[in-house]
Chain A
Amino acid sequence: MRLFRSEEHVARWSEETGIPVGDVFSLDSLWRLAQLWFADRLSPDWRRRTVDEANALFAKSGLEGAFWRLVG
């Protein structure tokens, strides 16, 4: 996951590299995702999330749709 100066830069990068645009999202969504995803990382009880747990967390971060759907 990379950062771009603006959506126009994502489009230009896609055109130049031939890599299709995936999902573009705001810093607010990025910050929510990071806060939820890494909240327990320094806990001794941390464990890898199940697919369902990860999908629920993406939805809670406002990142929905087929792009953000992990499959088991």
Chain B
Amino acid sequence: MTVPTPQEIDAAVRLAIQEEFLLGRRPSVASVASTLGRDASDVDAAFDRLAAGRAVVLVQGTRDILMAAPFAGVQTDFRVRCGERSYYANCIWDAVGIPAMLAAAGRPSNASVETRCADCAAPLRLEVADGSLRAEPPDVVAHFAVPAAQWWADIVFT
């Protein structure tokens, strides 16, 4: 039996995290270990390596997932509904990234995104249908406050 390399374990863990989010659940070390049939200690180490490589962001001092883009591990202002399921995303880029990711994988991807204007808190809604993105109201704009070179100084605020 071939022993998987750390890189192979990390790839399997990363994918299991994404797939569990798609089921509408927040993945944990225990749930991913169970899905993959691996020891929790292997998955602990993979979570740490994935965090070090910025593939996931963990809540400080824990292995709880804060971000596994496009998914958020906590409630946010970016709610995505797709079929029977709903998800939280980290920002508007990630929110529309969920249907974009699903479409690229050949999966059902029609979705709605509910958020609020960051200025006036008015509800804003985006619809992804048949590969197109539309907004209500139609003149909404996206805004990035932080230049790309500084994103990782505080990845929660960009």
Decide if B97 touches A4 in the complex (CB within 8 Å): no
Taken together as a complex, chains A and B put the C-alpha atoms of A54 and B69 apart, in Å, by 15
Which of B's residues lie within 8 Å of A, judged by CB?
A: 11-12, 14-15, 18-19, 53-55, 69-70, 91-93, 96-98, 100-105, 107, 115-120, 122, 124, 126, 133-135, 137, 139-149, 158
Which of A's residues lie within 8 Å of B, judged by CB?
A: 1-7, 9-10, 12-13, 16, 19-31, 33-35, 37-46, 48, 54, 58, 66-71
Given contacts A4-B118, A13-B118, A39-B101, contact A48 B53 (CB under 8 A): yes
- B143 in complex: contacting residue of A2, A28, A44, A46, CB < 8 Å: A2
Decide if B137 touches A5 in the complex (CB within 8 Å): yes
Taken together as a complex, chains A and B put the C-alpha atoms of A35 and B114 apart, in Å, by 19
Main secondary structure on B side of the interface with A: mixed
Residues in A neighbouring B117, C-beta threshold 8 A: 3-5, 9
Decide if B144 touches A22 in the complex (CB within 8 Å): yes
Residues in B neighbouring A45, C-beta threshold 8 A: 11
Residues in B neighbouring A24, C-beta threshold 8 A: 141-143
Residues in A neighbouring B18, C-beta threshold 8 A: 41-42
A59 to chain B, nearest CB (A): 12
A25 to chain B, nearest CB (A): 5
Which residue in chain B gives the minimum CB-CB distance to A29? B142
Decide if B139 touches A69 in the complex (CB within 8 Å): no
Decide if B119 touches A30 in the complex (CB within 8 Å): no
